[in-house]
Structure 1
Amino acid sequence: MTSLTTAPGARHIVWDWNGTLLDDNAAVVSAVNKVCAAFGCEHIDLDRWRAVFGRPLRRAYEHVLGRVLDEHDWARIDVLYHEAYRELLHTCGLARGVPGALREWIGSGRTQSLLSMWFHEELLALVEDFGLNALFTRVDGLRAEIGGGSKAGHLTEHVTALGIDPAEIVLIGDVADDAYAAEQAGADCVLLTTGVMARPALEATGFPVVDSIAEALETIGAESAARGRDG
């Protein structure tokens, strides 16, 4: 993999949603604790969830709940979590710097899209509610009934639909699976510490790790911005 700081040239960003553009950590932890209560386990805090979070997501819940989960358990967790999370979605706001940073990226002559593992139709509604529709060339969410799997295949499909050379694409996300997905798709990646994964796990991917969207865009590099303006 190459570092964007030494090989800038991205003309398209694929943004992650939860924990990246949407500041939803409090809602996530509250929803996880709804699951914990249902399974008779102690509540956790954000640091604990960050310490165990990963994909497949079922393993993270197995760490927290202290048990192996079968299909029935997983289906129950899916319902409990999403019911609790949806109740708190109205309390979630956009991450610091959004939408200003997204407008600046477009203003430099480049493009961006959104790929989330949140359910597709609900994602479209959220993006519209926040007034972000015009900022993305494409928006894709999860089209399955139950989530928790890797983003890798979804990103490959997303990039194919965009029709852009993966070498000119950067995925900006908040979990190690984003890095894995980017590698599989042939794209680059920058990871944010603003979501649900601890910094050491993010740094272990080998991709740049930063603390804000502004830093992520700085990491991509001024040279790329100049190319966008000139092209």
Structure 2
Amino acid sequence: MEKKGKYKFIIWDWNGTIYDDTEFCVTIMNKLLSKRNLTLLTVENYKEVFDFPVKDYYQKLGFDFNEEPFEKVGTEFINEYNDKHFICKLHMGIDSLIKKLNKNGYDQFVLSAREETKLIEDIKHYGINNHFREVSGLNNHYANGKITIGKRLMKRNGIIPKNCLLIGDTLHDAEVAAELKVDCLLIANGHHSYNKLKQIDVPVFNSITELENYLFR
């Protein structure tokens, strides 16, 4: 790995980075939008408008929280998601990359905006839980608070920022990395497009293969 003497810890995002659920999320959101006679999304459009906090993203799509609270809409989305999300798969090549990093001595973690109990269930379901030293998610399903739990994760595990790399798929992951004072790499096969990710000065890759080639070149 480039600068292999520098990095000892790798923090992974889950949704969109390891877990390929982007199209599934668009399908669910379109169901909610159709129910309210709002404009439907394409995958391409979704990758441009999706953002954190997700409440703002919902408002961009036309949800009126004077008519119904965000908590109601957010719960409707996550209930649909949890009911059928195991139809999704891991991104091609991610399992072998995570194993390869383990063999090379890197401590790996998952930091996610997903509710922690569900996150742990997901990772166990796909049989990759043993590859991670710790899995950390939120105590709610509204996808808000990733920076706070990231700081706690680092403190619990004695992670030194200069020796840590965060890998994600959204601009928010880069924001989290900046707050945690760790380096960041982004993959454009998740919830944000390549062009959107290139707005900031962080290395961006189109696939897990490109990422692996960069890490082990």
User: What is the percentage of aligned positions where both structures have the same residue?
Assistant: 24
More deviation, 135-144/5-14: 5-14
Are 1:115 and 1:140, in contact at CA under 8 Å, matched by a contact in 2? yes
For residue 121 of structure 2, what is the aligned residue in structure 1?
125
Give the SS at the match of 1:99.
Answer: helix
Kept in 2, the 8 Å contact 1:31–1:82? The answer is no
2:156 and 2:52 map into 1 onto residues whose CA distance is 24
Aligned ranges 1:176-195 → 2 under 5 Å? 176-195=171-190
Which residue identity does 2:188 align to in structure 1?
Answer: T
Matched, 1:205 2:200: yes
Uncovered stretches (5+) of structure 2, i.e. residues with no partner = none
TM-score, L = length of structure 1: 0.86
Question: Does the CA contact (< 8 Å) of 2:147 and 2:180 recur in 1?
Answer: yes
SS at match of 2:191: coil
Task: Give the root-mean-square deviation of aligned CA atoms.
Answer: 2.1
**1:93 counterpart residue number:** 89
- 2:126 maps to a residue whose letter is F
Q: Give a deviation string over 1:130-162, Cα, whole Å, max 9, x none.
A: 111110000011112x41325222222221122
Taking a change above 3 Å as real, the CA distance of residues 59 and 194 of structure 1, as seen in their structure-2 partners, is: same
Q: Find the counterpart in structure 1 of residue 47 from structure 2.
A: 50
Which residue does the alignment assign to 2:148? Answer: 153
TM-score for both structures, normalised by structure 2: 0.92
Partner of 2:17: 20
Cα offsets for 1:162-208 (capped at 9, x unmatched): 21101111111000010010011110110010111122221112110
Q: In the alignment, which of 137, 140, 147 is matched to residue 141 of structure 1? A: 137
Structure 1 gaps of 5+ residues are 223-231
d(CA) in 2 for partners of 1:207, 1:151: 19
Give the number of aligned pairs. 217
- For the structure 1 residues 153 and 218, does the alpha-carbon distance in structure 2 shift closer, same or farther, using more than 3 Å as the test? farther
Work out whether residues 51 and 197 of structure 1, in 8 Å CA contact, stay in contact via their aligned partners in 2: yes
